[in-house]
Structure 1
Amino acid sequence: MSSKDKRRHVRTAFACRIKIAHDSIGELLVKTRDISDGGVFVVLEPEHIPPVGTHLQGQVQGLMEDAPVLMMEVVRVEPAGVGLRFVQDE
Protein backbone atom coordinates (compact mmCIF):
# COMPACT_ATOMS: atom_id res chain seq x y z
CA MET A 1 0.00 0.00 0.00
CA SER A 2 1.46 3.36 -0.99
CA SER A 3 1.56 6.34 1.38
CA LYS A 4 -1.07 8.05 -0.76
CA ASP A 5 -3.47 5.18 0.01
CA LYS A 6 -3.00 5.81 3.75
CA ARG A 7 -4.00 9.48 3.58
CA ARG A 8 -7.26 10.49 5.21
CA HIS A 9 -7.43 13.87 3.47
CA VAL A 10 -7.33 14.75 -0.21
CA ARG A 11 -4.31 16.88 -1.12
CA THR A 12 -4.74 19.93 -3.32
CA ALA A 13 -1.86 21.61 -5.14
CA PHE A 14 -1.59 25.03 -3.55
CA ALA A 15 1.34 27.45 -3.54
CA CYS A 16 1.54 30.17 -0.91
CA ARG A 17 4.11 31.46 1.55
CA ILE A 18 4.20 30.22 5.11
CA LYS A 19 6.41 31.28 7.98
CA ILE A 20 7.63 28.35 10.04
CA ALA A 21 9.51 28.60 13.32
CA HIS A 22 11.45 26.20 15.54
CA ASP A 23 14.47 26.59 17.81
CA SER A 24 16.58 24.33 15.56
CA ILE A 25 15.92 26.28 12.33
CA GLY A 26 14.83 29.73 13.52
CA GLU A 27 12.13 31.47 11.45
CA LEU A 28 11.94 30.65 7.75
CA LEU A 29 9.66 31.95 5.00
CA VAL A 30 8.95 28.95 2.76
CA LYS A 31 6.59 27.92 -0.04
CA THR A 32 3.90 25.29 0.15
CA ARG A 33 3.51 22.59 -2.49
CA ASP A 34 0.14 21.19 -1.48
CA ILE A 35 -2.36 21.32 1.35
CA SER A 36 -5.17 19.25 2.83
CA ASP A 37 -7.50 19.42 5.81
CA GLY A 38 -4.89 17.49 7.79
CA GLY A 39 -1.64 19.19 6.84
CA VAL A 40 0.65 20.87 4.35
CA PHE A 41 3.85 20.07 2.43
CA VAL A 42 6.49 22.81 2.56
CA VAL A 43 9.53 23.12 0.32
CA LEU A 44 12.77 23.36 2.33
CA GLU A 45 16.49 23.29 1.61
CA PRO A 46 18.04 20.04 2.93
CA GLU A 47 20.01 21.85 5.65
CA HIS A 48 16.76 23.24 7.13
CA ILE A 49 14.81 19.97 7.25
CA PRO A 50 13.98 19.02 10.86
CA PRO A 51 13.57 15.35 11.81
CA VAL A 52 10.26 13.49 11.82
CA GLY A 53 8.39 14.16 15.05
CA THR A 54 9.55 17.78 15.37
CA HIS A 55 6.79 20.19 16.40
CA LEU A 56 6.96 23.70 14.95
CA GLN A 57 4.81 26.75 14.48
CA GLY A 58 3.46 27.91 11.14
CA GLN A 59 1.56 30.93 9.86
CA VAL A 60 0.30 31.57 6.34
CA GLN A 61 1.64 34.86 4.98
CA GLY A 62 -0.10 37.32 2.65
CA LEU A 63 -3.59 35.80 2.43
CA MET A 64 -5.15 37.44 5.47
CA GLU A 65 -3.99 40.10 7.86
CA ASP A 66 -4.13 38.07 11.09
CA ALA A 67 -3.67 34.45 10.03
CA PRO A 68 -3.60 32.13 13.04
CA VAL A 69 -0.34 30.58 14.23
CA LEU A 70 -0.74 26.80 14.06
CA MET A 71 1.23 24.00 15.67
CA MET A 72 2.43 21.40 13.18
CA GLU A 73 4.39 18.15 13.36
CA VAL A 74 6.87 16.84 10.79
CA VAL A 75 5.43 13.52 9.64
CA ARG A 76 7.27 12.95 6.34
CA VAL A 77 10.66 13.99 4.99
CA GLU A 78 11.50 14.10 1.28
CA PRO A 79 14.51 15.58 -0.52
CA ALA A 80 12.36 18.59 -1.51
CA GLY A 81 10.93 19.33 1.94
CA VAL A 82 8.63 18.05 4.65
CA GLY A 83 5.05 16.97 5.16
CA LEU A 84 3.54 18.70 8.19
CA ARG A 85 0.45 17.53 10.08
CA PHE A 86 -1.72 20.13 11.77
CA VAL A 87 -1.63 19.39 15.52
CA GLN A 88 -4.93 19.77 17.32
CA ASP A 89 -4.95 21.05 20.89
CA GLU A 90 -3.92 18.03 22.89
Structure 2
Amino acid sequence: MTGKDRREHIRTAMTAKVKVTHPEFGEFVFSTRDISDGGVFVVVDTEPFTPVLGDRVTVQVQGLPVPAPVLDMVVVRQTNDGYGLQFDHCDD
Protein backbone atom coordinates (compact mmCIF):
# COMPACT_ATOMS: atom_id res chain seq x y z
CA MET A 1 0.00 0.00 0.00
CA THR A 2 1.35 3.36 -0.92
CA GLY A 3 0.24 6.96 -0.62
CA LYS A 4 -3.06 7.82 1.01
CA ASP A 5 -4.86 4.62 0.04
CA ARG A 6 -4.48 2.30 3.03
CA ARG A 7 -7.25 -0.11 2.08
CA GLU A 8 -6.49 -3.78 2.55
CA HIS A 9 -9.35 -5.07 0.39
CA ILE A 10 -10.45 -4.43 -3.19
CA ARG A 11 -13.72 -2.53 -3.38
CA THR A 12 -16.54 -3.63 -5.68
CA ALA A 13 -19.23 -1.17 -6.75
CA MET A 14 -22.57 -2.41 -5.45
CA THR A 15 -25.85 -0.67 -4.82
CA ALA A 16 -28.12 -2.24 -2.22
CA LYS A 17 -30.45 -0.98 0.48
CA VAL A 18 -29.20 -1.57 4.01
CA LYS A 19 -30.74 -0.83 7.39
CA VAL A 20 -28.18 0.80 9.68
CA THR A 21 -29.01 0.90 13.39
CA HIS A 22 -27.10 3.21 15.71
CA PRO A 23 -27.69 2.91 19.48
CA GLU A 24 -28.19 6.68 19.85
CA PHE A 25 -29.64 7.81 16.50
CA GLY A 26 -31.94 4.86 15.71
CA GLU A 27 -32.62 3.11 12.41
CA PHE A 28 -31.96 4.40 8.90
CA VAL A 29 -32.12 2.88 5.43
CA PHE A 30 -29.23 3.88 3.18
CA SER A 31 -27.87 2.82 -0.19
CA THR A 32 -24.44 1.28 -0.47
CA ARG A 33 -21.86 2.54 -2.94
CA ASP A 34 -19.35 -0.26 -2.66
CA ILE A 35 -18.47 -3.31 -0.64
CA SER A 36 -15.29 -5.26 0.11
CA ASP A 37 -14.17 -8.13 2.29
CA GLY A 38 -13.50 -5.51 4.98
CA GLY A 39 -16.67 -3.46 4.94
CA VAL A 40 -19.15 -1.30 3.09
CA PHE A 41 -19.64 2.37 2.20
CA VAL A 42 -23.11 3.83 2.83
CA VAL A 43 -24.33 6.98 1.11
CA VAL A 44 -26.01 9.41 3.51
CA ASP A 45 -28.01 12.14 1.82
CA THR A 46 -29.99 14.44 4.08
CA GLU A 47 -30.63 12.06 6.96
CA PRO A 48 -29.69 13.25 10.48
CA PHE A 49 -27.11 10.47 10.82
CA THR A 50 -23.92 11.86 12.33
CA PRO A 51 -21.91 9.12 14.05
CA VAL A 52 -18.32 9.64 15.11
CA LEU A 53 -15.43 7.43 14.07
CA GLY A 54 -15.34 4.35 16.27
CA ASP A 55 -19.12 4.17 16.81
CA ARG A 56 -20.57 0.69 16.55
CA VAL A 57 -23.65 0.06 14.41
CA THR A 58 -25.55 -2.93 13.09
CA VAL A 59 -26.22 -3.37 9.37
CA GLN A 60 -28.72 -5.58 7.59
CA VAL A 61 -29.28 -5.87 3.82
CA GLN A 62 -32.90 -5.13 2.91
CA GLY A 63 -35.14 -6.40 0.12
CA LEU A 64 -34.04 -10.05 0.06
CA PRO A 65 -36.56 -12.91 -0.05
CA VAL A 66 -35.46 -13.98 3.44
CA PRO A 67 -34.15 -11.81 6.28
CA ALA A 68 -30.41 -11.16 5.96
CA PRO A 69 -28.13 -11.55 8.97
CA VAL A 70 -27.57 -8.53 11.18
CA LEU A 71 -23.87 -7.64 11.14
CA ASP A 72 -21.88 -5.66 13.70
CA MET A 73 -19.84 -2.88 12.10
CA VAL A 74 -17.68 0.07 13.15
CA VAL A 75 -17.66 3.56 11.60
CA VAL A 76 -14.11 4.00 10.27
CA ARG A 77 -14.33 6.74 7.63
CA GLN A 78 -16.40 9.83 6.88
CA THR A 79 -16.65 11.67 3.57
CA ASN A 80 -18.90 14.43 2.25
CA ASP A 81 -21.48 11.90 1.08
CA GLY A 82 -21.38 9.07 3.58
CA TYR A 83 -19.54 6.69 5.87
CA GLY A 84 -17.20 3.75 5.57
CA LEU A 85 -18.22 0.90 7.85
CA GLN A 86 -15.85 -1.92 8.72
CA PHE A 87 -16.95 -5.40 9.75
CA ASP A 88 -16.45 -5.73 13.51
CA HIS A 89 -14.46 -8.89 14.17
CA CYS A 90 -14.06 -8.35 17.92
CA ASP A 91 -15.58 -11.77 18.68
CA ASP A 92 -13.07 -13.65 16.48
Structure 1 length-normalised TM: 0.90
Match of 1:17 in 2: 17
Q: Which range moved further: 51-60 or 38-47?
A: 38-47
- 1:22-61 correspondence to structure 2 within 5 Å: 22-45=22-45, 47-61=48-62
CA distance in structure 1 between the partners assigned to 2:26 and 2:74 by the alignment: 16
Listed as ranges, the gaps of 5+ residues in structure 2 are none
Letter of the 1:66 counterpart: P
1:8 aligned partner: 8
Residue correspondences, number = 88
Greater per-residue helix proportion: 1
TM-score, with length taken from structure 2: 0.88
CA RMSD of aligned residues (A): 1.3
